[in-house]
């Protein structure tokens, strides 16, 4: 009976899954290089006593102001959500109707397809960049909303387009505290956009989607840009070393401006399975995705984690 009540569009969807969903090993001594978390730690160290008996500020004014100060953008241009996933969903609900057309770059982050299919209508997993000139041109000539995902911008050599939202009213930029800031567990993402877009997002969001602890952690992290710089520089060094070692073993390593590497490896699916079963190393298999035959994505880990990975791959190849 329940099936007959479900929206037919949603009934056809394939749930978003991650490599860890499929991993059956003991997590205690496993190496997780699958989800692009920051292996080098977090930008905050402690959580002080908070008034958790009170609901959080639904407008998240202090966090929006802190983000605005960090980005040199007025807080009216900022919307905060429970991770970028929620904001992607809200944007689709806001702008997309059944039978509308949505352009998605392939390959890309799986949640974009999930969100747009639900409505009827620096890139993961490749780590490559779009040219700023191309984005500017698109914003000028395209009569719709342009969503630019800058989840990994802190790891990149390219400048953020956050300040350009004043120039392009159809540009929406997505950012996250999950990657460079090392706060994947608190689920805080934010959008930078024209205040009119922000106003409409506020109309359809769920109240209290971002809890008090998450808001506090995000605000504390924003006070510590020095720690952010240290973490990013450590990751970049390890990214270079890991890419060199993978290339030295005859593997194709695609250029990356993120905290992960996409590599091409023979019999990728079998390799991913053996890494998990024999060596307790979890990476992400993308070999079944469009244009990614025999490709896997590896999050840049700590020196110890990367050494374990290289040792394991050497034995498998």
Q: How many CA atoms lie within 13 A of 27 on its CB side?
A: 7
**Which stretch of DSSP H or E encloses residue 262?**
strand 260-264
Burial group, residue 137, by CB count within 10 angstroms (0-12, 13-18, 19+):
exposed
Torsion angle of the four alpha carbons 144, 145, 146, 147, in this order, in degrees rounded to the nearest 10? -160
Percent of the chain with pLDDT over 70: 82
Q: Return phi, psi of residue 61, to 5°.
A: -60, -45
Domain parsing of the chain, residue ranges: 2-41+226-316, 61-224
Specify the pLDDT at position 14.
66
The string of pLDDT tens digits covering residues 69-87 is 999 999 999 999 999 889 9
The CATH class of 61-224 is alpha beta
Specify the pLDDT at position 116.
41
pTM (predicted TM-score): 0.80
* 3-state SS class at 310: helix
The top-scoring range by mean pLDDT among 33-42, 206-215, 296-305 is 296-305
The string of pLDDT tens digits covering residues 149-184 is 899 999 998 889 999 999 999 899 999 999 999 999
Residue 309 has pLDDT above 60, yes or no: yes
Span of 285-294, 296-305, 308-317 with lowest mean pLDDT = 285-294
The domain 2-41+226-316 is placed in CATH, from the list 3.40.50.740, 3.50.50.60, 3.10.20.30, 3.90.1150.10, at: 3.90.1150.10
User: Which CA distances in Å does 197 have to 125, 142, 170, 229, 278?
Assistant: 28, 17, 9, 31, 49
Here the tokens at position 3 are 């099936």
Here the tokens at position 63 are 């966090």
The string of pLDDT tens digits covering residues 83-139 is 988 998 888 888 877 777 777 766 655 544 544 433 333 545 566 677 889 889 888
């Amino acid at each position: 009976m329940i099936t007959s009540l479900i929206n037919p569009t949603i009934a056809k969807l394939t749930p978003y899954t991650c490599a860890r969903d499929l991993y059956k090993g003991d997590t205690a001594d496993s190496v997780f290089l699958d989800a692009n978390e920051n292996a080098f730690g977090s930008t905050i160290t402690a959580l002080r006593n908070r008034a958790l008996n009170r609901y959080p500020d639904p407008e998240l004014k202090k966090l929006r102001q802190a983000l605005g100060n960090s980005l040199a953008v007025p807080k009216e241009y900022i919307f905060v959500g429970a991770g970028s996933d929620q904001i992607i969903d809200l944007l689709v609900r806001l702008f997309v109707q059944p039978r509308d057309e949505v352009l998605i770059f392939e390959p890309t982050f799986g949640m974009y397809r999930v969100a747009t299919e639900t409505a009827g209508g620096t890139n993961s997993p490749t780590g490559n960049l779009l040219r700023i000139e191309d984005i500017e041109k698109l914003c000028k000539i395209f009569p719709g909303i342009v969503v630019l995902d800058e989840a990994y911008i802190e790891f990149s050599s390219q400048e953020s387009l956050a300040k350009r939202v004043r120039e392009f009213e159809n540009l929406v930029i997505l950012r996250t505290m999950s990657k460079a800031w090392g706060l994947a567990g608190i689920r805080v993402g934010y959008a930078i956009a024209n205040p009119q877009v922000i106003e409409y997002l506020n109309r359809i969001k769920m109240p209290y989607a971002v809890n008090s602890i998450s808001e506090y952690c995000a605000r504390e992290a924003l006070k510590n840009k020095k720690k952010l710089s240290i973490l990013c520089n450590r990751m970049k060094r390890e990214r270079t070393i890991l890419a060199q070692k993978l290339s030295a073993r005859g593997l194709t390593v695609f250029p990356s401006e993120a905290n992960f590497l996409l590599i091409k490896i023979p019999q990728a699916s079998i390799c991913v399975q053996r890494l998990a079963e024999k060596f307790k190393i979890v990476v992400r298999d993308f070999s079944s995705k469009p244009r990614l035959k025999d490709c896997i994505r590896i999050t840049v880990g700590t020196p110890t984690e990367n050494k374990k990975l290289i040792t394991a791959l050497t034995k498998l190849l």
